[in-house]
Chains A and B, each alone.
Chain A
């Protein structure tokens, strides 16, 4: 029983981390019909920028918003200067993001070197809650809380605000949205920046958990993709459910079938695709 509780807890905390990546990926796809292959790079760069902020100021709390904002600006620039000028051409845009992923990889290596680094969690979070002889690290509880807050906020913005309605309209039918006067170009710019922001946020928070190292970008990316595919592209709820499923599969897979754990990781994706190609909550 203890085993199941601990593994489920770990799985959920990993899943919430994936959600930070998957939600942006999913929204970007919904609005622009592209998958951003540089999304893992945002995650990694977020962690690295946070490290620099921590080295300079010593403040972990300051590192979170600074890193996320820096990467959001980076994403904004990428969307405005390179993706937007291509017009609506998803394949070329996707290929372009591959090029950026390579550039970011090299830049990270040049700036921060090839060592594995950890973002040290602040002392306030560096302890464990004990319940019935089980230890729950506070940091993981914080991660889950953070992701829950992000999910709630995203849901509120998407469902209750004008901006959210514009985004939803663009996801559902971009042409019609333009027709009724929604500036879809601005919507996609905002969504892209938001996606980068969330990915970088994940990178900072995940930095104390999985570390920051070269190659992290392409390692985390397929997981986020799988989460988005399971949940359904363009759906926030899907991204959340998909991330949690993937986080749980990852933990239980590694614990129960270590030799074929990646099979168990991608198996639900394959099964869901076979049954419902658009994912659990995808429309189209």
Chain B
């Protein structure tokens, strides 16, 4: 029999292949949404690395998406860079600027833990928003920056399907990279820090450095998501960098299941579905989203990914209860 990790691994691979194969026949709108899910999921995985594995609730992840997105837009419009095969260089640059920003912000944020960390990342995120909003000469202020065409490298990414494959490719690379990372000794130490910082400190680990590195990696991934973000909608504006984007990224991780990596995509898919499809059907879709979210936190702390285990547990618990009552009644009958 397959071990459960192996089975999960194969299941994820199969699912990704199915998605990649089905995508060409989907409607153009669905392709765009799928690309959107990939991009937000990349951002969400960076939150998951912090929240799920290191125990640091980041509420400012939009900042790194923002610097990556603005870098992409500025390079494309002012320097005509990144619209050919150099797009892949921009991906790297976006990740780099996200990581550098995180390296700077991390100096302040990593001093705090728990709820303090959440507030500080929130405030740092707002600094980036403030710059985007106010620094007109660089960011175009309120109007943002329009990028009128997507890059062309061998094929044009302007078709939705091509762009979807790019987004899916980035998602898979980040997923695989993080999967390896969290299973490495470094990743294990992060989980150790999440479980008990004191214990890890006693064991001689440099807590600050571990958290700082995780924060930088998460920032880099956020920047990477930002590059795709700009090309998805062809515009980047302060709205994209606002608190709501950070809240979204945190929300989908909590929905999907923190500490699972794959849960990020699951949560994102659910939120995007609710937002894009349900909103066309019923006007009160956000209540559904809020309700699902609140119920998840109240009753499913492990998120949607924890649902199968919860069901199984429930099943075995009731089976055990039946067995106990059966035995009790049997023993009652056997008594004279």
Interface residues of A (CB under 8 A from B): 29, 33-35, 37, 82, 85-86, 90-92, 94-96, 98-103, 105-107, 110, 218, 221-222, 225-226, 228-229, 233, 258-263, 265-266, 269-270, 273-274, 277
Contact = CB atoms under 8 A, between A and B. Distances in A.
A106 B57 contact: no
Interface stretch (B18-26, B125-133, B224-232, B326-334): B125-133
B297 interface: yes
The B contact surface, by secondary structure, is helix
B321 interface: no
Contacts of B118: 35, 94
A261 B112 CA distance: 25
The A contact surface, by secondary structure, is helix
A234 to B, nearest CB: 11
Contact of B123 (A102, A229, A233): A229
B37 interface: no
A92 B287 contact: no
A251 to B, nearest CB: 15
Interface string B299-326: 0010000000000000000000000000
Contacts of A228: 119
Interface of B: 57, 107-108, 111-112, 114-116, 118-120, 122-124, 126-127, 129-131, 133-137, 242-244, 247, 250-251, 254, 283-284, 286-287, 289-291, 293-294, 297-298, 301
A262 B130 contact: yes
Contacts, number: 119
A102 B289 contact: yes
A261 B298 contact: no
Most buried by B among A82, A218, A233: A218
B305 to A, nearest CB: 16
Contacts of A82: 294, 298
Contact of A85 (B126, B291, B298): B298
B115 A96 contact: no
A222 B298 contact: no
B119 to A, nearest CB: 5
A91 B57 contact: yes
Contacts of B129: 262
A266 B294 contact: no
Contacts of A225: 119, 122-123
B114 A90 contact: yes
Contacts of A96: 294, 297-298
A96 B291 CA distance: 10
Contact of A263 (B57, B115, B130, B244): B130
A273 B126 contact: no
A92 to B, nearest CB: 6
A25 to B, nearest CB: 10
